[in-house]
Amino acid sequence: MPFWELQRQLGIDVDKWLLRQSMPQPYGKAAACHAFEREWVECGHGLGQTRARRECQPEYEDFMECMHRTKLAVRLRTILEQRDKMIKEGKYTPPDYHKGKEELRP
């Protein structure tokens, strides 16, 4: 059949986009979120898809946060909004190097 091992014949690896953390990493070091992915896989191993979704939700959320940093982005946005609010109220004055002004050098 012509489609057997098509990836190998064409010299491409489609799986590397699907398996970001488990694939071989440069210099043989583990990927940044490998530990979270491993915990999630170990938790769900042998449970079945429906039960694993319910019982392994914390591990999955940790893995997704490590991959996409959505909670970190929300937290940073909240901090910046609070800073802007304090600047408008006059309670906070940012340093000159945060305003885009050059530092005076001796």
Query: Is residue 1, in this structure, part of any structural domain at all?
Result: no
Query: Is residue 13, in this structure, part of any structural domain at all?
Result: no
pLDDT of residue 62: 94
Query: Is residue 4, in this structure, part of any structural domain at all?
Result: no
pLDDT of residue 61: 94
Number of domains in the chain: 1
3-state secondary structure of 99: coil
CA 93/CA 83 separation, integer angstroms? 9
Q: Give every CB contact of residue 59 below 8 A, 6+ residues apart in sequence.
A: 36, 39, 40, 43, 44
Query: Is residue 85, in this structure, part of any structural domain at all?
Result: yes
Question: Mean pLDDT score of the chain, rounded to an integer?
Answer: 81
Q: What's CA 69's distance to the chain center, in Å? A: 4
Query: Is residue 106, in this structure, part of any structural domain at all?
Result: no
Ranges of residues in the chain whose predicted pLDDT is under 70: 1-7, 13-27, 106
Query: Is residue 7, in this structure, part of any structural domain at all?
Result: no
pLDDT of residue 4: 64
Both structure tokens of 83: 């800073």
Query: Is residue 3, in this structure, part of any structural domain at all?
Result: no
pLDDT of residue 19: 53
Using a cut of 0.85, tell me whether the model's pTM lies above it. no
Domain region containing 45: 31-99
